[in-house]
């Protein structure tokens, strides 16, 4: 299962701290004794905010508070996947996302093994080609469209099954009708 979110400059500080586990007060669902098992698959080293600011300086960004400058996909390890395929699952998921959104736009790709279910947070800057002005610009709306959200799970599942050579359950009852946010998924779990 995968979940998509977008962030403005003012809303992204806490999420970056969650990704790299530098938050002063981690959430209660983090097992700090397992945090050392987490790792970042992104090729760029350094602070996420520095990587983000560097790329933003290279592209056109509208000077508005409501511009989403960071997006994130959380891809959860399917429970049915064989244990020996876990690391490859995250590497192949990262590869799929890097190709889709561009290596230059990757901020981080933290694999979290210190929560109940292992998952990857793929954080990227939504950069697209500005056809009118022949330059690159930040636009979450154009980078990840409604159609992208509706087809993402199927595309990722097909890619992973081809790469891993086994069944991968990205598309499940929670994702069959498109992308749902974490709050919606938790409400559904509570109802069940």
Asked whether the CA dihedral 15, 17, 20, 21 is positive or negative, the reply is negative
User: In the chain, what percentage of residues exceed pLDDT 90?
Assistant: 71
What does the block give as tokens for 24? Answer: 């002063």
**Is-contact 69 61, C-beta < 8 A?**
yes
Q: What is the DSSP letter of 121?
A: E
Q: What end-to-end distance do the CA atoms of the chain give, in Å?
A: 18
Res 76: pLDDT: 95
Q: What is the mean pLDDT of the chain?
A: 88
What number of residues does the chain have?
192
Backbone angles phi, psi at 42, to 5 degrees: -65, 140
Q: Say whether pLDDT at 102 is over 90.
A: yes
pLDDT at 85 over 90: yes
User: For 53-57, which contacts have Cβ atoms below 8 Å and span 24 or more sequence positions?
Assistant: 55/104, 55/105, 55/107, 55/125, 55/127, 56/125, 56/138
pLDDT of amino acid 55: 96
Residue 173 pLDDT > 70, yes or no? Answer: no
Could you tell me the pTM of the whole model?
Answer: 0.87
3-30 tens-digit pLDDT? 999 999 998 878 999 999 988 776 778 8
The band of 189, judged by pLDDT with boundaries at 50, 70 and 90, is low
39-40: strand order across its sheet: 2-8, 68-76, 119-124, 106-112, 39-40
């Amino acid at each position: 299962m995968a979940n998509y979110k977008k962030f403005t400059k003012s809303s992204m500080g806490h999420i970056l701290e969650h990704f790299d586990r530098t938050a002063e007060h981690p959430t209660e669902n983090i097992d700090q004794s397992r945090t050392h098992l987490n790792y970042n698959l992104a090729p760029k080293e350094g602070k996420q905010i520095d990587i983000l600011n560097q790329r933003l300086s290279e592209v056109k960004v509208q000077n508005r508070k409501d511009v989403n400058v960071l997006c994130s996909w959380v891809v959860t390890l399917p429970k049915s996947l064989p244990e020996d395929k876990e690391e490859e699952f995250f590497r192949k998921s990262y590869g799929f996302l890097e190709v889709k959104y561009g290596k230059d736009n990757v901020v981080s790709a933290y694999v979290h093994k210190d929560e109940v279910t292992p998952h990857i947070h793929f954080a990227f800057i939504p950069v697209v080609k500005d056809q009118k002005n022949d330059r690159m610009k930040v636009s979450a709306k154009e980078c990840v469209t409604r159609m992208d959200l509706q087809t993402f799970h199927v595309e990722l599942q097909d890619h992973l099954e081809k790469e891993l050579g086994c069944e991968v359950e990205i598309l499940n009852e929670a994702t069959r009708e498109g992308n749902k946010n974490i709050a919606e998924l938790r409400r559904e779990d509570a109802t069940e």
